[in-house]
Amino acid sequence: MKKSIIAVAISALVLGGCAANSSNTQKGAGIGAVAGALLGKATGDNAKSRYVWGAAVGALAGAAIGNYMDKQEQAFREELADSGVSVQRNGDELTLQLPGQITFATGSANISSQFHTVLDDVAKVLNKYEKTTLMIEGHTDDTGTAQGNQALSEARANAVRQYLVSRQVDMRRITTIGLGQFQPLVANTSEQNRQQNRRVELRILPNKQ
């Protein structure tokens, strides 16, 4: 039910965006906002459990936040060196970009077996630095239909979530969302660009007081 509601909302936005000749960026922002709002409303129990989890592990405040994220960033960079995973920092947020071409086979949501070790390293750091919450975002290029890409992006985000949970990452820390083809890193004008857009992003935020 939840997925069908989101799919209808996204379809409406796509059609509306085409009628108004809006840009991909504008459509992506609108779709992301609606999907995020619907997921937030539809996963109230999950949000409650994340709140309980946050209370259980404690929260960060002030200068402790930056210091905590500095150490976690360094740990990710050390564990993921030469893995193909990009580690980015924006303020107090860390983003791990998992390239689709090495994480999944084309059109598949099954994690490549050779990538298990990399995700084991991701889980290792997440379990050490537990005062953070995670948003796992699935993204695709524009090959195929928007509906098919939406479903694939959701499936890939959920596959990463399930793997991390199997490695003892607390499920209450994790939210997933599929954003389909609507938030590309670069224009889908070449195969090289499409490879960049086929990805899963793991956004890591401190649990603040």
| Residue-level pLDDT at 51 | 56
Q: In the chain, pLDDT over 70 holds for what percent of residues?
A: 71
Shared domain check, 110 and 8: no
Same-domain pairing of 125 and 26: no
Check residue 34 and give its pLDDT: 44
Residues 24 and 79 in one domain: no
Inside any domain, residue 49: no
Same domain (yes/no): 170, 110: yes
In a domain, 93, yes or no: yes
Q: Would you say residue 161 lies in a domain?
A: yes
Point out the least confidently predicted range of 46-55, 83-92, 121-130. Answer: 46-55
Domain assignment present for residue 107? The answer is: yes
- pLDDT band at residue 31, thresholds of 50, 70 and 90? very low
36 and 66 both lie in a single domain: no
pLDDT of amino acid 59: 64
**Do 82 and 111 share a structural domain?**
yes
Kindly state whether residue 106 falls inside one of the protein's structural domains.
yes
d(CA 37, CA 41) in angstroms, rounded, equals 6
What integer pLDDT is reported at residue 54 of this predicted model?
56
Confidence of residue 119 (pLDDT cuts 50, 70, 90): very high
Residue 55 in domain:
no
CA distance 12 to 7: 9
Q: Are residues 192 and 95 in the same domain?
A: yes
Checking phi first, is residue 91 left (phi over 0); if not, alpha (psi -120 to 50) or beta?
left
30 shares its domain with 86: no
Integer angstrom CA distances of residue 35 from 86, 96, 147, 148: 25, 21, 14, 16
Is the domain of 124 the same as that of 21? no
Range of the domain at 161: 60-206
Q: Angle at CA 189, nearest 5°, toward 185 and 186?
A: 10
What φ, ψ does residue 96 adopt, rounded to 5°? Answer: -105, 125
154 and 124 within one domain: yes
Number of domains composing the chain: 2
Q: Is residue 72 domain-shared with residue 164, that is, in the same domain? A: yes
Q: Angle at Cα 91 formed by Cα 90 and Cα 93, nearest 5°?
A: 65
For residue 154, the model assigns a pLDDT of 96
Alpha helices in the chain (DSSP H): 2-19, 24-42, 44-57, 63-79, 100-103, 116-128, 146-166, 191-197
Is 88 part of any domain?
yes
148-175 pLDDT tens trace? 999 999 999 999 999 999 999 999 999 9
In a domain? residue 54: no
76 and 31 within one domain: no
CB-count exposure of residue 167 (10 Å: 0-12, 13-18, 19+): middle
CATH of the domain at 120: 3.30.1330.60
